[in-house]
Amino acid sequence: MKKLLCLGLTIASVTVLAACGSETARGIQTSSQSSTHKTERKSSAGWNSNIQTYTGSSVDLKIDNLEKATDAEGKSTLVLHFTLTDKSAGEQTLQFLYQGMIDAYQEKDGALQRLAFNAASSDQGESHLQDVVKDGQTLSGYYVYTIDETASKLVFDFRDSYMQTSDKFEVPLSELS
């Protein structure tokens, strides 16, 4: 009887260990598939100058128009009109999504200077920056930067994650009207 009980416990133990082992193997396979999927998404991210669009893993951004303007205080500004499509699984404001994926600079005397947001512009209409964007939704808006007219070019760094630049778009300031 004791031998039968020991044999039954041994079989039960082996069955439990085998089940745990296959679960671990499935977890590793899922993790491996998931990292492959992320790599595929990252490799498809980038700037397409032909259609003025940045494709990211969670957001697509099309630059509709870049124009020089003057704010209410007489400062030179750059107005960047854009259309953004949210591909993330959540709800965020248009401004949060935009700021999370792009950094803007001007090059002056060989050095890059970060462009500052300009809230003084009032003649452009509604910017829609505080509108909430849901997964799959597309909204248009604009972002205004203060610029130095003596800068040679503007540089836009696109990020597919919050810390890493994945692509850039450069435009000579002289090409803007």
- Chain segment 13-37, per-residue pLDDT in tens: 645 444 454 433 333 333 333 333 3
pLDDT at residue number 131: 92
Residue 34 sits in the same domain as residue 79 = no
pLDDT of residue 72: 85
The whole-number pLDDT of residue 125 equals 74
pLDDT band at 12 (very low <50, low <70, confident <90, very high): low
Structural domain count, the chain: 2
Tell me the C-alpha distance between 129 and 92, whole Å. Answer: 10
**Statement to judge: residues 22 and 104 lie in one domain:** no
Q: For the segment 123-168, what is each residue's pLDDT rounded down to a tens digit? A: 667 888 999 999 999 999 999 999 999 999 999 999 886 667 789 9
Averaged pLDDT score across all residues of the chain: 78
Tell me, yes or no, whether 58 and 97 share the same domain: yes
Q: pTM for the complete prediction?
A: 0.70
Looking at the structure, tell me whether residues 25 and 65 fall in a common domain: no
**Strand 59-70 with 76-86, pairing:** antiparallel
Q: Are residues 4 and 38 in the same domain?
A: yes
Q: How many CA atoms lie within 13 A of 50 on its CB side?
A: 0
Domain span holding position 12: 1-44
The rounded distance, in Å, linking the Cα atoms of 70 and 49 is 27
Q: What is the CATH number of the domain that holds 145?
A: 2.60.40.1240
Residue 118 vs residue 12, higher pLDDT: 118
